[in-house]
């Protein structure tokens, strides 16, 4: 018989007392962990800038990792809100659809159109205010009792305060024919960038041909435009542009230069008479677009067509756009939005979502074949007391939410836009609630000394004054109206 075979343990290569798994775990334990706090400040800034280009909230997450990274990067809590890098661009405010206003709940749900992230923020500062505008994610608030304008960054909590509107409303708007408090309750406001160290809020009023502006710390609101009304506006590159209600002109509203021609370009006349066209401004891929819904005025039954132009501001020219690629536009009288179908697959590519007056509340126009398609499903419900409104259809689609965000009046009321279009006037309880909400806005009275001084001020009627007289009046009013 041969020698006996050894039944002992098999020795591991290089180590008789450890298995390969144990040796690997031991070597990893002995290796020092990377010290991210020692990352060079320049590299930290480079990473932070790339995150900031995508989203300010990702930038804020990076700064919260450690004190070293926080000290190596600039704070997003810009007290002036003038640095557009820290604005929450790409975030849109969603509507809950329960008929409760965001200012009453003091809560707003934000949705990021690129990453599809959802963030529900508690904002107690909203109470006692009305939201009169949203620009680059910044909320513009009107205090319902003091008539003070405030701008708030919802993610950092920075609040910038501007002068109150009481003096301007009582001395200018009250003297205009056809003025009602609805013009104040439903004012339009946007944030513009005056310079690198300050923002400027621009305000215009429904049915009132006047545009005013002011900076934080100013003592007065200055009139910059008179005898002009807009059917649509667009904040673009820190300025403000609008399409005039009578005519087909694209006008630069802000920055204001009384010596230069404010008209940027005119929409081609072959699209039809201005009364038969609807003009919408939008921003997409860093360019300004003009969408025109038009048809021949001679035949009302002709189908509506949509024509899209790109605005070349330096050359003051329009270029026809035949395709948006993977993008889709949401356009309305209040706001516009450009999103990518790659990021949001439920959105139709190369399409324009809009609300046609008198027709279906939300329609999609395809630039591929020129077809229209309705996206709304209607269902009648009778339980309004429980927050279920007459046309409530849940769950809401993403297109419903984005279309409602672009319709500011319905969004501020907590109503989905397509539901609001089908609300019947017989729903007395709901309409009484809406009327009560609008009547919350009041204009405080002046002190006795201030009132006596303002009575000496003679202001012309802005509706009947000539253009040259209006400019002189604007200069005098801006100089004497103090907060």
Quote the pLDDT of residue 468.
44
* Residue 202, domain member (yes or no): yes
Quote the pLDDT of residue 22.
62
Both structure tokens of 310: 């790109």
Q: What is the mean pLDDT of residues 375-395?
A: 55
Please state, in angstroms and rounded to a whole number, the distance separating the CA atoms of residues 468 and 81.
35
* Residue 439, domain member (yes or no): no
Quote the pLDDT of residue 428.
73
Domain assignment of residue 143, given as a range: 122-227+445-483
* Residue 274, domain member (yes or no): no
Both structure tokens of 436: 């009560």
Quote the pLDDT of residue 418.
73
> Cβ contacts of residue 273 below 8 Å, gap of 6+?
297
| Residue entry with tokens 């501001």 | 313
What does the pLDDT look like over 303-346, one tens digit per residue?
678 899 999 999 999 999 999 999 999 999 899 999 999 999 99
Quote the pLDDT of residue 51.
93
Please tell me whether residue 44 adopts helix, strand or coil conformation. Answer: helix
Query: Which of left, alpha, beta for 388 (phi over 0: left; psi -120 to 50: alpha)?
Result: beta
> Cβ contacts of residue 342 below 8 Å, gap of 6+?
326
CA distances in angstroms from 56 to 64, 365, 449, listed in the order given? 13, 33, 47
Quote the pLDDT of residue 400.
87
* Residue 153, domain member (yes or no): yes
Quote the pLDDT of residue 229.
86
What does the pLDDT look like over 187-241, one tens digit per residue?
999 999 988 889 999 999 988 889 999 999 988 899 998 888 888 999 999 999 9
Q: How confident is the model at residue 79 (pLDDT cuts 50, 70, 90)?
A: very high
Residue 243 CA, distance from chain mean position: 18
- Mind giving me the DSSP string for 161-202? EEEESHHHHHHTGGGSTT--THHHHT-EEEEEEEETTEEEEE
**Ramachandran angles phi, psi of 16, nearest 5°:** -75, -15
In terms of pLDDT, which residue wins out, 473 or 14?
14
Q: What is the mean pLDDT of residues 388-392?
A: 53
Both structure tokens of 349: 């590519």
* Residue 284, domain member (yes or no): no
* Residue 355, domain member (yes or no): no
Please tell me whether residue 450 adopts helix, strand or coil conformation. Answer: helix
Q: How many CB atoms lie within 10 A of CB 76?
A: 20
Closest C-alpha to 223, from 152, 137, 165: 165
Which of 40-44, 176-180, 387-391 has maximum average pLDDT? 40-44
Residue 14 in this model has a pLDDT that exceeds 60: no
Q: What is the mean pLDDT of residues 112-131?
A: 95
Q: Provide the angle, in degrees to the nearest 10, between the axes of the packed helices 56-63 and 41-54.
A: 150
Closest C-alpha to 131, from 79, 187, 179, 65: 187
* Residue 219, domain member (yes or no): yes
Please tell me whether residue 405 adopts helix, strand or coil conformation. Answer: helix
Domain count, the chain: 1
Quote the pLDDT of residue 422.
62
Q: Are 37 and 45 in contact (CB under 8 A)?
A: no
Residue 87 CA, distance from chain mean position: 11
What is the biggest distance separating any 2 CA atoms in the chain, rounded to whole angstroms?
A: 130
Quote the pLDDT of residue 450.
54
Both structure tokens of 264: 């940027």
Q: How confident is the model at residue 353 (pLDDT cuts 50, 70, 90)?
A: very high
Quote the pLDDT of residue 94.
94
Please state, in angstroms and rounded to a whole number, the distance separating the CA atoms of residues 388 and 339.
30
Sign, CA torsion 71/73/77/79: positive
* Residue 116, domain member (yes or no): no
Residue 467 in this model has a pLDDT that exceeds 80: no
Closest C-alpha to 211, from 262, 249, 138: 262
CA distances in angstroms from 180 to 96, 206, 443, 459, 463, listed in the order given? 30, 10, 12, 18, 15
Query: What burial letters (b/e) apply to 292-316, b meaning 16+ CB within 10 Å?
Result: bbbbeeeeeeeeeebbbbebebeee
Please state, in angstroms and rounded to a whole number, the distance separating the CA atoms of residues 238 and 190.
10
């Amino acid at each position: 018989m041969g020698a006996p075979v050894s039944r002992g343990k098999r020795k591991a290569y290089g180590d008789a007392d450890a298995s390969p798994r144990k040796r690997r775990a031991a070597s990893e334990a002995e290796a020092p962990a990377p010290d991210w706090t020692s990352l060079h400040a320049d590299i930290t800034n480079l990473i932070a800038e790339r995150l900031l280009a995508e989203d300010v909230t990702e930038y804020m997450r990076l700064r919260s990792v450690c004190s070293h990274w926080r000290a190596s990067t600039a704070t997003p809590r810009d007290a002036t809100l003038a640095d557009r890098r820290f604005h929450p661009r790409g975030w849109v405010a969603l509507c809950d659809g329960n008929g409760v206003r965001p200012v009453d709940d003091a809560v707003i749900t934000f949705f990021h159109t690129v990453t599809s992230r959802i963030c529900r923020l508690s904002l107690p500062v909203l109470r006692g205010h009305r939201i009169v505008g949203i620009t680059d994610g910044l909320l513009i608030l009107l205090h319902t009792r003091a008539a003070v304008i405030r701008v708030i960054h919802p993610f950092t909590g920075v609040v910038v305060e501007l002068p109150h509107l009481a003096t301007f409303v009582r001395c200018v708007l009250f003297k205009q024919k056809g003025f009602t408090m609805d013009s104040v309750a439903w004012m339009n406001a946007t944030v513009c960038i005056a310079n690198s160290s300050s923002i400027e809020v621009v305000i215009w009023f429904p049915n009132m041909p006047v545009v005013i502006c002011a900076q934080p710390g100013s003592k007065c609101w200055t009139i910059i435009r008179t005898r002009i009304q807009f059917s649509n506006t667009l904040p673009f590159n820190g300025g403000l542009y609008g399409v005039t209600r009578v005519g087909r002109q694209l006008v630069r509203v802000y920055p204001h230069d009384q010596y230069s021609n404010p008209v940027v370009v005119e929409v081609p006349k072959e699209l039809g008479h201005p009364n038969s066209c609807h003009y919408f401004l939008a921003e997409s891929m860093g360019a300004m677009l003009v969408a025109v819904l038009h048809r021949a005025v001679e035949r009302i039954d002709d189908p509506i067509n949509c024509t899209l132009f790109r605005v070349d501001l330096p050359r003051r020219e329009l270029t026809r756009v035949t395709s948006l690629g993977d993008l889709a536009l949401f356009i309305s009288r209040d706001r516009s939005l450009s999103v990518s179908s790659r990021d949001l697959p439920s959105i139709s590519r190369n399409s324009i979502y809009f609300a046609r007056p008198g027709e279906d509340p939300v329609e999609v126009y395809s630039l591929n074949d020129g077809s229209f398609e309705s996206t709304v499903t209607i269902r009648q419900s009778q339980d309004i007391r429980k927050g279920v409104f007459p046309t409530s259809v849940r769950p809401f689609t993403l297109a419903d939410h984005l279309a409602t965000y672009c319709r500011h009046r319905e969004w501020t009321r907590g109503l989905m836009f397509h539901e609001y279009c089908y609300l019947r006037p017989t729903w007395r309880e709901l309409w009484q609630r809406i009327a009560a909400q609008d009547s919350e806005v009041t204009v405080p009275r002046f002190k006795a000394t201030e009132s006596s001084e303002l009575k000496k001020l003679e202001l012309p009627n802005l509706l009947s004054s000539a253009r040259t007289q209006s400019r002189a009046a604007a200069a005098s009013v801006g100089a004497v109206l103090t907060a």
